[in-house]
Amino acid sequence: MYEFLLLIVTVAFLVYKFVEHGGHKKCSPSGKSVLITGCDSGIGLSMAIAAEKLGFHVIATCLDPKGYGANFMQQHYPNICIIQMDVTKPTDIESLLQAVKDNLQNTQTTLWALINNAGVLVYGHFDWQLDYQIESQVQVNFMGVLRVTKAFLPLIRQAKGRIINITSANGNWCLPGLSVYCGTKHAVEGFSKTLRIEMRPWNIKVILINPGNLPGSTRILAAQAQHAEAMKKNFNEEEKQMYGEYFDLFQKHLQTNFAAPNPNGDQPLNDARLNKMLESSLLLENPRPYYANLDLGFRMFMLVTKLLPTYYGDRLILQMWGDHVEYKLI
């Protein structure tokens, strides 16, 4: 019986490798544009630069057109087209759509890929977070993906191109303090997997990229201290008694390990494995549906917590997190 199951798993794996990886046949970047959201810093800025180096015409959106990312691209990569856009504002998306159409006509290119990268993260247990913190993550991380994809899908369809959505390890695995963020990334993964099936008859690829554990190498937690202060001010007396020490240790751990204001100095993120995943997702005729920039140790820990009975998997995660923040949770 076990031998038969092993045979089925082996055959399924080989078929997957053959069908999904599609060999190494590549497309040409000539005459193709790539639109990337959230290029103010971090992963979005890194991907804009990497895509431009691959030979694509890049259209990068920034929330702040005078901020770090926009200034860096203007100084070092002047061929990248920078457009201001807030993914939570439908009027901004409408303006972007027209600007992209004009840009495609001027450059004589087609929109080969949309990369939905814009994202925000507020670290904190669900009952700590204020409504505006929850709303921001849902609107940017999930509703923004839906709105931008809906607007640009006709252009992607014309090019028979691809939609690349940036997810996270938290798209299918969870840690304390990430209930809202995990919820948005689970939603993005569910949407992407279904959209991939819906778009297949029209030769549109839908790809998920998990860039890995990079909060300490980006600015995604730059505002965490302000968010934490707002949460703590909103605590009632019962919550202060219940969470006080744990909350302080929790936030201290984040500030120490992840919330550096400028972790890469004056240089943008440059992760070789992430760049390789982007290259494959943009250039391969048959890219994988999912790319993950995770080391083996982290993959194994995630797998163990999933394979264990829920009770023990949850305890293992709480034990690990408690050790990190130096507070006994179980």
Please return the burial class of 262, using the count of CB atoms within 10 Å of its CB with bins 0-12, 13-18 and 19+: exposed
Give the pLDDT score at 242. 95
Is residue 17 pLDDT above 70, yes or no? Answer: no
Residue tagged active-site, from 181, 243, 246, 290: 181
Name beta bridge partners: 194.
none
Give the pLDDT score at 12. 52
Q: What whole-number distance in Å separates Cα of residue 163 and Cα of residue 205? A: 6
Give the pLDDT score at 18. 52
Give the pLDDT score at 269. 87
Domains of the chain: 25-221+263-294 (3.40.50.720), 297-330 (no CATH)
Give the pLDDT score at 283. 98
Give the pLDDT score at 259. 61
Give the pLDDT score at 2. 46
List the one residue out of 320, 270, 267, 313 whose CA is nearest residue 293.
270
Mean pLDDT computed over every residue of the chain: 91
Task: List the structure tokens of 134.
Answer: 């929850």
Q: Tell me the mean pLDDT in the region 285-290.
A: 96
Please say if 291 is a catalytic residue: no
Give the pLDDT score at 221. 85
Q: How many CA atoms are closer than 13 Å to the CA of 213, on its beta-carbon side? A: 11
Phi and psi at 77, nearest 5°, equal -135, 70
Judged by phi (left if over 0) then psi (alpha if -120 to 50, else beta), residue 44 lies in alpha
110 membership: H or E segment, kind and range: strand 110-116
Which amino acid appears at position 7 of this protein?
A: L
Is residue 11 pLDDT above 70, yes or no? Answer: no
pLDDT tens digits along 126-182 = 999 999 999 999 999 999 999 999 999 999 999 999 999 999 988 888 899 999 999
Give the pLDDT score at 261. 55
Give the pLDDT score at 85. 98
Is residue 8 pLDDT above 70, yes or no? Answer: no
Q: What whole-number distance in Å separates Cα of residue 206 and Cα of residue 184? A: 18
Give the pLDDT score at 71. 97
Q: What whole-number distance in Å separates Cα of residue 32 and Cα of residue 268? A: 24
Is residue 198 pLDDT above 90, yes or no? Answer: yes
Q: In this structure, what DSSP letter does residue 212 have?
A: -
Q: Tell me the mean pLDDT in the region 88-117.
A: 98
Give the pLDDT score at 222. 86
Residue 192 CA, chain-centre distance (Å), reads 12
Q: Residues in the chain, how many?
A: 330
Give the pLDDT score at 298. 85
CB-CB neighbours of 25 under 10 Å: 9
Alpha carbon of 310 to those of 182, 213, 307, 315: distances in Å?
Answer: 17, 24, 8, 8
Q: In what order do the strands lie in the sheet with 57-62?
A: 81-84, 57-62, 32-36, 110-116, 162-166, 205-210, 290-292
pLDDT tens digits along 266-276 = 678 899 999 99
